[in-house]
Amino acid sequence: MSLAVGIDIGGTGIKYSLVTEVGEVRRRHYHPLQRGVAYSELLSEMAGTVASLAADASDKIIGIGLATPGHIERIGYTFVDGGENLPALGEGRIVPDLADATDLPVAIENDGLAAAMGEMMFGAGQGVENFAMLTLGTGVGGGLICGGRPNHGPGRQPPEFGAIVLDIAGPPNTHGQPGTLEAFAGKAGFAAAFARQGLIGDDLRAHFALAGQGHEPAVRAVDAVALRIAQAIGIITNIANIEICIIGGGVSGAGPVLFEAIERHLPHYTWPALYPNVRIVSAKNGNDAGTLGAAALAFDANAQPG
For the chain, the C-alpha Rg in angstroms (whole number) is 19
pLDDT digits 0-9 by tens, 185-217: 999 999 999 999 999 988 999 999 999 999 999
| Structural domain 3-114+287-303, CATH architecture | 2-Layer Sandwich (3.30)
| Residue ranges of the chain assigned to CATH 3.30.420.40 | 3-114+287-303, 127-283
Average confidence (pLDDT) over 20-41: 93
pLDDT digits 0-9 by tens, 98-133: 999 999 999 999 889 999 999 999 999 999 999 999
- 3-class DSSP assignment, residue 246: strand
Largest CA distance in the chain: 58
Structure pTM?
Answer: 0.90
127-283 homologous superfamily: ATPase, nucleotide binding domain (3.30.420.40)
- Is the Cβ–Cβ distance between 179 and 167 less than 8 Å? yes
With residues binned 3-state (H G I as helix, E B as strand, rest as coil), the percentages for the chain, rounded to 5, are 45, 25, 30
Give the whole-angstrom CA distance, residue 8 versus residue 288.
9
